Amino acid sequence: MKKILALFTVLCLLCCGAMAEGMPADGTYEAEAQGFGGPVSVSLTVEGGAITAVSIKGDAETPGLGGVAVEQMDEQILSAQTPNVDGIAGATVTSTAVVKAATEALTAAGADIAAMDANRKDAAADAEREQKTLETDVVIVGAGGAGMSAAITVHEAGKSVIILEKMAYVGGNTTKATGGMNAAETHYQAESGIEDSVDQFVEDTMKGGKNLNNPDLVRAMAANSAAAIDWLDTIGAPLPKVSFSGGATNARIHAPADGSGVGGYLVAAFSAKLSELGIEPMLNTKATELLRAEDGTVCGVRAEAPDAVYEIHAKSVILASGGFGANEEMYCQYRPDLRGTVTTNAPGATGDGIVMAQAVGADLVDIEQIQLHPTVEQTTSMLITEGVRGDGAILVNQEGKRFINEMETRDVVSAAELQQEGCYAYVVFDQRLRDGLKAIEKYVNNGLTVQADTPEELAKLIGCDPETFAKTLSDWNGYVAAKNDPDFGRATGMEEDLSVPPYYAIKIAPGIHHTMGGVKIDTLTHVIDTDGNVIPNLYACGEVTGGVHGGNRIGGNAVADIVVFGRIAGQQAAENVK
Ligand code: ADP
């Protein structure tokens, strides 16, 4: 639709011969700017006073995020007839690179961008929004991992399904999951001779969650996890690589064979499966309200898109809209102490499903339980992967001293950082570590690192006392050689010391990572009201719900949660269709 509007705008401009003010002379102009993963180049053709073609290239941008900006911003520029466009929410770095490159290309050709802005044509904004009514068996709010698992399952059960996604792209926070999926008693474990049990999975999850978790939900997740792994095999998303991860007694985390991040991998596989089944998520379509019949029962959702307002009538509604880690107002309502904390969350994680569910009487559980990630760069909210510490980096405070075993759990390291002067710290590593970890190139390319040839020079750059900092580093290198950390008892991630120049530091502090609380559900994903009763026709799964993770989510359980409960929600919602 947008593409048609963009072309329509261009045709109108050309037909009426309107030479827009500020446009450069006819020609094709090109420039490049630094994106998230590498250079982004933009080429624009100007003919008869209008931008008639835009081509954007950025092969290194993240598929599903920056990649969406590369694919879709040509339409925005064509529609607006200026490079100053909004870009794609959640892909700020790539969007900014596109705007910058396009602006530079046109300015160099003599354009007056301010005059072009003044002429802005936003065809979509001019369009009247149509009122539309749709009918389906099941409507799903949110196309992250939980929503897409549910949608495929509803289709497998032979029922019709509509899936809504308010962003321009699917995937939500799921895309950001890097580790894998916890599952016990799987065929992959058996094939590798790994002994594990559902009981042990339950025990580890309860312990990790400080026993605040709902034990019935934890058991449902663990008991259905092996079947979920089998199901992923059948839909072309196998997770065969099994290893240990924090908080698990046995090797239980299942990851893609090629070592790629589990979230991006699953989102790509789910999207491909949905396309194969003929189910296209309705993008840029935000659910705003649950519809209720005259007797008060839930019977669909109201949703808004740029060109239409929908009433979608359905027998069952599944909320799979994720958490609220990107909604500062909402998390401060439950945790005022977190005001001003940056977030690692996708921009769609604004708690809409929680608010919609509450409006029909749903109860909430553990809503104040919010997980902080300890290593988040604060100006970009970019998460510095745990792999950096796992490969041997240390954390130092502004005094240039270590203050914690860097391999402690996220909540412990975050709390320790908040005790330091200024509530921040630095992740410190060397060239050897950079050479071995691909993720670091992204941090360097985005200007997050400072570097120097000696520890003393690095200390000066970050404002630490050079002698103290250099002693911290040489003490640490001694501990690595002795395989003993007498200061904080670190025992892992110390295979290699930090002695190959240049040395690097990234300033970090805790950031909001996962909202463990949410809508109350039972083991069949029915939403439960404040009197403890099932709300008919309403289901919820994934990060929108509470109770599975208790007071702390352990790595690998977010993906287990979304696939297991996404499938249960899909089955239940389909069965509910008479
Ligand atoms: P989960 O891990 O539970 O699947 P995600 O964060 O991965 O959660 O996915 C949730 C998805 O729901 C995101 O893509 C988000 O943009 C989308 N979403 C959130 N609120 C709405 C809404 N009101 N309407 C449609 N989609 C929504």
What digits encode the pLDDT tens for the residues 528-541? 999 999 999 999 99
Q: Which residues 6+ apart lie within 8 Å of 267 measured at CB?
A: 64, 144, 145, 148, 170, 171, 174, 175
Cα R_g (the chain), whole angstroms: 25
* CA 520 / ligand 1 centre spacing (Å): 17
What one-letter code names the amino acid at 254? H
Name the token pair of 289: 């309200």
Q: What is the distance between the alpha carbons of residues 232 and 238, in angstroms, rounded to a whole number? A: 5
Q: Coil, strand, or helix at residue 154?
A: helix
Q: Which neighbouring-strand residues pair with 31?
A: 42
Ligand 1 atom with the smallest distance to the CA of 170 is 14
DSSP state of 185: S
**CATH-assigned architecture of domain 2-126:** Alpha-Beta Complex (3.90)
* Cα-to-centroid distance, 289 and ligand 1 (Å): 14
Cα of 145 to ligand 1 centre, how many Å?
A: 9
Whole-angstrom Cα distance, residue 578 to residue 314?
Answer: 11
Q: Is the minimum distance from the CB of 271 to ligand 1 under 6 angstroms?
A: no
Residues in the chain, how many? 578
Q: Which residues are catalytic?
A: 410
Neighbours of 158 (CB within 10 A): 9
pTM: 0.81
Q: Is the CB of 142 under 6 A from ligand 1?
A: yes
Of ligand 1's listed atoms, the one at least distance from the Cα of 356 is 23
What separation in Å is there between the alpha carbon of 318 and the centre of ligand 1?
Answer: 11
Our answer on whether the CB atom of 290 is closer than 6 Å to any ligand 1 atom is no
| β pairing state of 364-365 and 298-304 | unpaired
The response to whether residue 515 sits with its C-beta less than 6 Å from ligand 1 reads no
pLDDT of residue 321 exceeding 60, the answer is yes
* Residue 93: pLDDT band with limits 50, 70, 90: confident
Q: Which helix (H) or strand (E) holds 168?
A: none
pLDDT of 18 > 70? The answer is: no
Structural tokens at position 357 = 């569910």
In this structure, which residue's CA is closest to atom 3 in ligand 1? 542
DSSP β-ladder status, 39-47 and 364-365: unpaired
Separation CA 8–CA 26 (nearest Å) = 20
Architecture of domain 372-511: Alpha-Beta Complex (3.90)
Residues 85 and 3: their CA atoms lie apart, in Å, by: 15
146 lines ligand 1 (CB under 6 A): yes
Neighbours of 104 (CB within 10 A): 17
Distance (angstroms) between ligand 1 centre and the Cα of 409 equals 27
Rounded to an integer, what distance in angstroms lies between the CA atom of residue 231 and that of residue 270?
Answer: 12
Segment 154-175 shows an average pLDDT of: 96
- Measure 4 CA to ligand 1 centroid, in angstroms: 27
The rounded percent of the chain whose pLDDT value lies above 70 is: 95
For the chain, the structural domain boundaries read: 2-126, 132-362+519-576, 372-511
Ligand 1 in contact with 165 (CB < 6 A)? yes
3-state class (DSSP) for residue 403 = coil
Does ligand 1 come within 6 angstroms of the Cβ of 167?
Answer: yes
Atom of ligand 1 nearest to the CA of 347: 16
Tens of pLDDT along 231-275? 999 999 999 999 988 888 999 999 999 878 899 999 999 999 999
Of the pLDDT bands very low, low, confident and very high (cuts 50, 70, 90), residue 52 is very high
Residue 4 has pLDDT above 60, yes or no: no
CB within 8 A of 58, min separation 6: which ones?
35, 37, 38, 39, 40, 41, 66, 67, 69, 70, 94, 97, 98
pLDDT for res 153: 98
Choose which residue among 165, 266, 514, 544 to substitute to test ligand 1 binding: the one with the highest number of ligand atoms within 8 A of its C-beta: 165
Substitution site in 149, 166, 291, 324 for ligand 1 pocket (most atoms within 8 Å of beta carbon): 166
> What's residue 16's pLDDT?
47
Cα–Cα–Cα angle for 217, 220, 223, rounded to 5 degrees:
150
Q: How far is CA 418 from CA 111, 399, 469, in A?
A: 49, 14, 20
The answer to whether residue 118 scores a pLDDT higher than 70 is yes
CATH number 3.50.50.60 is the correct assignment for the domain at 132-362+519-576: yes
